[in-house]
Amino acid sequence: MKNIYEALVEIMGERGVSNRPEEIWFYGRDPGVLPPHPPDYVVAPETTEQVQKVVQLANREKIPVVPMGNGMALTGLVIPLKGGIVMDMKRMNKILEVNEMARYVVVEGGTSQGMLKAHLRDHYPRLRHSLPDAPPTTTIAANVSLHGQGCLTQQYGFNSDMVSGLEVVLPTGELCKIGSPSLGPYWFSKGPSLPDLSGLFLGWLGTTGIFTKVGLKLYPNKKIREMEIFVTDKAELVPEIIYKLTHLEMLEDLIAWFQPKPLMFKDNYHLTIYFTGDSEKEIEFKRTMIWDALQEFIDNKDGGFMNVQAMKPNLMENPQRGIAAFADVPRGGGFEYSGPITLIELYPQFAAKVVELAEKYDVIYSSAARVISGGHSMMFSISFAFNRADPAMMERVKKALDEATEYALKMGGIPWKPNYMEQKMTMDHMDPNTLKLLRMIKKNLDPHGIMNPGNWEPAP
């Protein structure tokens, strides 16, 4: 493989390639529970041309290529299951264009969520993007490639729905623009009114190409952001509460969560309701509407709004630092979650399942369900924290997560950013013709199966 290294150096320069044990060790794992697998090389491109050349080389030599952002999907999607080249995209982090009037931004394939947030705040304070709950180092391209969500998902759908154009290096090395940028200079549409080819890449977890540019829709950044938390002790009321709240068409974000610790959260279900406005008047009007929408639950003593003053500074952070902090609950640096997309009406069943799994496997749980697109579905996270120094605990978490995915599929849900085993479970449940279509697309796009192999890989 020495000539491959030299070929990579020729493309990337010394600074852009490593096969040293330290990088090989590090880039062979992620913070979740899946076992590592080492790559043969790690590359960190700075230009689209370098990405293309590496992919062309890999395609020619039939070497796996695994694109990587910050590697925080937690489900092993950047673990090179079959070795090969891990491509760390984070050096390609330029913000190329903001079209303020058309409300979109074009970024390079390794641009982080945090940098885009800072850029918009500094230069376009009237605009914002849908920041995920993941740390700010995570990249926009990785987020949309796995149908990520963010703080505007309740209003506008998955973050991948907000893509307004793509530039992709195909598995064979060609550079391909998707949507309006394929016809002209503007990045306002990923598909309509053309056939929406973005579907060949979004949600494919890097198995059909590498994003070198992403166009992303931006949204109004209102002057004031506020929140309330409604609490109930009956899981079966949560769907109706969500229904009433989403009926208002006024919310920015809506998250239903429960966790056993700290003790004050025990036995209750919490709905964090975010709303925005350009004036106090608008905020107070919305707050009033929200309170009124849930008055019947208050009157029946089934729920109430809790005092949020103490929690507000943390919950108003965007992204919330406290979410990553869950990893240290068992003093051990890890958590992972199964996040099926499912119907909101199934909330009580899923909630019961979380507790059942936590008890069965003796693990610490937390759950947060984000409402998607005004209430058509939710992402229901089943999160378990673990101690990285305790392999037995990690194994228990892994089993609990596997069982959670099985349950989600049985309930008609769709696993979110599934690991390779969950993908297999999903494909086993899939309509055969759908699976055939998936296989056909993949085979045609990636004839040698070099792109993130082991993922979305149907049995022949």
Q: At residue 164, what are phi and psi to the nearest 5 degrees?
A: -120, 20
Q: At residue 256, what are phi and psi to the nearest 5 degrees?
A: -105, 125
Asked if 281 touches other proteins (CB under 8 A), the answer is no
Please give the residues from 214 up to 253 whose contact with other proteins meets the rule CB under 8 A: 231-233
Asked if 13 touches other proteins (CB under 8 A), the answer is no
**Min. distance of Cβ 93 from other proteins in angstroms?**
9
Which CB atom, from 198 or from 259, has the smaller least distance to other proteins? 259
**Min. distance of Cβ 451 from other proteins in angstroms?**
21
Choosing from 264, 410, 432, 433, the residue that interacts with other proteins (CB under 8 A) is 264
The window from 181-189, 285-293, 423-431, 436-444 that contacts other proteins (CB under 8 A) reads 285-293
Q: What is the DSSP string of 230-270?
A: EEES-GGGHHHHHHHHHHT---SEEEEEE-S-SGGGTT-EE
Asked if 304 touches other proteins (CB under 8 A), the answer is yes
Choosing from 82, 94, 117, 225, the residue that interacts with other proteins (CB under 8 A) is 117
Choosing from 280, 359, 362, 395, the residue that interacts with other proteins (CB under 8 A) is 280
**Min. distance of Cβ 310 from other proteins in angstroms?**
7
Q: C-alpha dihedral over 229, 232, 237, 240, to 10 degrees?
A: -20
Asked if 21 touches other proteins (CB under 8 A), the answer is yes
Asked if 314 touches other proteins (CB under 8 A), the answer is no
Please give the residues from 440 up to 459 whose contact with other proteins meets the rule CB under 8 A: none
**Min. distance of Cβ 92 from other proteins in angstroms?**
11
Choosing from 175, 324, 425, 441, the residue that interacts with other proteins (CB under 8 A) is 324
Asked if 348 touches other proteins (CB under 8 A), the answer is no
**Min. distance of Cβ 18 from other proteins in angstroms?**
7
Choosing from 5, 188, 243, 265, the residue that interacts with other proteins (CB under 8 A) is 265
Which CB atom, from 232 or from 423, has the smaller least distance to other proteins? 232
**Min. distance of Cβ 323 from other proteins in angstroms?**
9
Q: At residue 227, what are phi and psi to the nearest 5 degrees?
A: -150, 155
Choosing from 3, 193, 309, 433, the residue that interacts with other proteins (CB under 8 A) is 309
Asked if 14 touches other proteins (CB under 8 A), the answer is no
Asked if 272 touches other proteins (CB under 8 A), the answer is no
Contacts of 126 (CB under 8 A, 6+ apart): 100, 220, 221
Please give the residues from 49 up to 108 whose contact with other proteins meets the rule CB under 8 A: 70-72, 88, 90-91
Please give the residues from 382 up to 401 whose contact with other proteins meets the rule CB under 8 A: 387-389
The window from 147-155, 365-373, 381-389, 439-447 that contacts other proteins (CB under 8 A) reads 381-389
Look up tokens 């020619």; give the residue: 60
Q: What is the DSSP string of 171-214?
A: TTS-EEEESGGGTSS--S-SSTTS--GGGGTTTSTTSS-EEEEE
What is the rounded distance in angstroms from the CA atom of residue 380 to the CA atom of residue 266? 19
Which CB atom, from 70 or from 212, has the smaller least distance to other proteins? 70
Please give the residues from 397 up to 426 whose contact with other proteins meets the rule CB under 8 A: none
**Min. distance of Cβ 10 from other proteins in angstroms?**
19
Whether the CB-CB separation of 351 and 342 falls below 8 Å is answered with: no
What is the rounded distance in angstroms from the CA atom of residue 117 to the CA atom of residue 136? 9
Choosing from 331, 376, 436, 443, the residue that interacts with other proteins (CB under 8 A) is 331
**Min. distance of Cβ 62 from other proteins in angstroms?**
26
Contacts of 293 (CB under 8 A, 6+ apart): 244, 245, 247, 248
Tokens at residue 29, please?
Answer: 């794992």
Asked if 187 touches other proteins (CB under 8 A), the answer is no
Choosing from 221, 248, 305, 425, the residue that interacts with other proteins (CB under 8 A) is 305
**Min. distance of Cβ 167 from other proteins in angstroms?**
22
**Number of residues this chain uses to bind other proteins (CB under 8 A):** 71
Asked if 431 touches other proteins (CB under 8 A), the answer is no
The DSSP output letter for 112 is B
Look up tokens 């296989």; give the residue: 439
Which CB atom, from 99 or from 387, has the smaller least distance to other proteins? 387
What is the rounded distance in angstroms from the CA atom of residue 426 to the CA atom of residue 408? 10
Distance in Å from the first CA to the final CA of the chain:
28
Whether the CB-CB separation of 363 and 418 falls below 8 Å is answered with: no
Residue 118, CB-side half-sphere exposure with 13 Å CA sphere: 9
Asked if 302 touches other proteins (CB under 8 A), the answer is yes
Measuring CA to CA, which residue among 200, 157, 159 is closest to residue 177? Answer: 200
Please give the residues from 119 up to 158 whose contact with other proteins meets the rule CB under 8 A: 119, 121-122, 135-138
Burial code (b: 16+ CB inside 10 Å, e: under 16) for 346-382 equals bbeebbebbeebbeebebbbbbbbbbbebbebbbbbb
